[in-house]
Amino acid sequence: MKDIEQLVKQLSSEATSVRPAPAPWILSLKWSGAALAYLLLALVASGLRPDLAQALQQPWFGAELLLLSLILLVTTLGAALLAFPDLHQKRTLAYTPIALFALFILLLLFAWRADTPPAPFPVHSFECTLDITLISLIPAALALFILRGYASTHPHWAGSFALLAG
């Protein structure tokens, strides 16, 4: 019995304090703030599109921007919730990005249907897609690196949402 008591004393003397993880809301706000700062830097480097004032007059474009901003916030929150083993008892909120992406696809379909006469296809081919992918690599890698430090029981979903938010 004394051996067990000695073992307990030894183990308790070697224990170090651990800083608790931030709440998912705080983690989500940090990721969203970092994404916004990075987006602003990318916009400063690349510049705004020349027809932005004209595009903002179209209600479908404004709705797309609003929904994409909401998707950014909700995917960071979903990734932050999924980083914790118990999802902070917010399972429905953690998977909300799936519903918002479905809503975004529906919005794109309505915007496509309302585009009469159809706009001409852009002159560039895959340049825009490549630029968006390259710009999103740094925040996505950073989010995945941060997620490694958490005890997610849903690593695939958490990683997917972190990549989508990036």
What is the token pair recorded at 36? 């916004």
**Could you tell me if 138 and 42 are in contact, meaning their C-beta atoms sit under 8 angstroms apart?**
no
Q: pLDDT exceeding 90 applies to what percent of the chain?
A: 19
**Could you tell me if 143 and 137 are in contact, meaning their C-beta atoms sit under 8 angstroms apart?**
no
Q: How confident is the model at residue 11 (pLDDT cuts 50, 70, 90)?
A: confident
Q: What is the pLDDT of residues 96-151, one digit of tens each?
A: 999 999 999 999 999 988 887 877 777 777 788 888 888 888 888 888 888 888 87
Among 104, 84, 102, which Cα is nearest to 94's? 84
Q: What is the mean pLDDT of residues 59-71?
A: 92
Give residue 1's pLDDT: 56
Domain ranges of the chain: 57-115+136-166
36 backbone dihedrals φ, ψ, rounded to 5°:
-65, -45
CA distance 75 to 24: 12
CA distance 20 to 84: 12
List, in sequence order, the alpha helices (H) in the chain.
2-14, 24-46, 52-56, 59-82, 91-94, 96-114, 127-147, 155-165
Q: What is the mean pLDDT of residues 64-80?
A: 91
Give residue 105's pLDDT: 95
| Model pTM score | 0.78
Q: pLDDT exceeding 70 applies to what percent of the chain?
A: 99
Q: How confident is the model at residue 39 (pLDDT cuts 50, 70, 90)?
A: confident
